[in-house]
Amino acid sequence: MDMINATGRRKSAVARVFLTEGTGKITINKRDLTEYFPSPILQYVVKQPLQLLGATEKYDIKVNIDGGGFTGQSQALRLAIARALVKINAEDKKALRAEGFITRDSRVVERKKPGRPKARRRFQFSKR
């Protein structure tokens, strides 16, 4: 198997994943997974598609992440890993879709409108 690449997006975060056969090492922006995402919850989110398919020790993953915050980055990475796993084996798509790992979450921040303090918030109304 050669290198498989895939892209995942969430909010303003973009994750580019390069998957090769290996021992299960995940490198994000030239740093280890536990160093880049110190929170165990975010580490769990990243590993979800691999754990579902029982492939945590099967592939080495090299990742470039840009933009967004840590939650958006972890979810973008989860999508990218799931897409890469589908490229390797198309039969896994059904199981990944059932868990919601294939669906791109398209929710993004609503833009600020003119004449308002935020996107929907209005200034306090004063009768007098």
pLDDT single digits (tens) 76-125: 999 999 999 999 999 999 999 999 999 999 999 999 999 999 999 999 99
What separation in angstroms does the CA of 99 have from each of 29, 62, 103, 124? 27, 24, 9, 43
Q: Find where tokens 């973009």 sit.
A: 14
Task: Quote the pLDDT of residue 1.
Answer: 72
Q: Please give the distance of CA 18 from its chain centroid, rounded to a whole number.
A: 14
Q: Could you tell me if residue 47 is left (phi over 0), alpha (psi between -120 and 50 degrees) or otherwise beta?
A: alpha
For the chain, domains (ranges, CATH) are 4-99 (3.30.230.10)
**The pTM of the whole model exceeds 0.85:** yes
DSSP letter, residue 65: E
Residues ≥6 apart with Cβ < 8 Å to 19: 3, 4, 5, 6, 59, 60, 61, 81, 84, 85, 88
